[in-house]
Copies of this chain bind each other. A is one copy, B any other.
Amino acid sequence: MNMENIKTEEEFLENYDSKQYEKPSVTSDILIFTVKEKRLAVLLIKRGAFPFKGRWAIPGGFVQMNETTEETARRELAEETSVKNIYMEQLYTFSDVNRDPRMRIISVAYIAFAPFNKLKHKAGDDAAETKIFYVNYKNGYLSLQDDNENIIKEDDLAFDHAKIIKMAIERIRNKVSYTDIMFEFLNNKDSFTITEVRDIYNAIKDIDTDDGNFRRDIRRKYMTDDTESEIKIIPTDNKYNYEHAGKPASLYKIVKR
């Protein structure tokens, strides 16, 4: 059939052959970040098959024909962590021709933020081994560390995953300064202290902000009415459960404006 003679869209669609060209495979990778022990951490999975068998990698999977890349990422997220409805955003699409030795794979990477208490149960349930690694990213060099002081260097990671993790950390560190993403790491959005929020902020940026200034900024952005932020922080009536000496902290909760 001659393409020039096709007159209607219906006719066109009937005659279009989507299988005539070779195609790359498409996967979604999901970087699940959390704050553990006042440190930024990421969940990785130990590869059980070649290539890179035994190495640590970002969870991911092939995009099915009936799902968006984000749906693929959420599916993988559910498989690895049993958490749903958490904050997620697209990071970047990686397409180097030889990034996977098996075949041409284009990968759409997503980042997700989960409170640690939602994450810690599932670890080890699955056949595939997962582990949460503390991230250490300074001066352009990344290393990861588990609870037993084992250190994973960039070259120990599978594929181009060191590059992806580094880009993700840069994105998160940047975005925490001008968005509300730090609250996504709170274990309980209906009952938290300002110190908990500051610990998250410090963990992400890997700095030690001045406590007084941090509280002033929180007051300005989230506790007054003349502000642009979408959310508001208000005190709760709950009592703080003292675990140590020192002035007991006030408890707050997040509400939409």
Please state if A9 and B101 are interface contacts (CB–CB under 8 Å): yes
| Per-residue interface assignment for chain A, residues 81 to 122, with 1 indicating a CB less than 8 Å from any chain B CB and 0 otherwise | 000000000101101110001111010100000000000000
This protein's copies in its complex: 2
Tell me which residues across on chain B come within 8 A of A67, comparing CB atoms: 97
> Is A16 interfacial (CB 8 A cutoff)?
yes
For the complex, what is the distance from the CA of A63 to the CA of B22, rounded to whole Å? Answer: 10
> Is A18 interfacial (CB 8 A cutoff)?
yes
Tally of contact residues, A, Cβ under 8 A? 38
A interface, by DSSP: helix, strand, loop or mixed?
loop
> Is A214 interfacial (CB 8 A cutoff)?
no
For the complex, what is the distance from the CA of A25 to the CA of B108, rounded to whole Å? Answer: 14
Stretch in A46-54, A196-204, A249-257 with 4+ CB within 8 Å of B: A46-54
Please state if B63 and A106 are interface contacts (CB–CB under 8 Å): yes
Known: A9-B53, A63-B106, A93-B108. 4 other contacts (CB 8 A): A21-B25, A68-B95, A69-B106, A90-B92
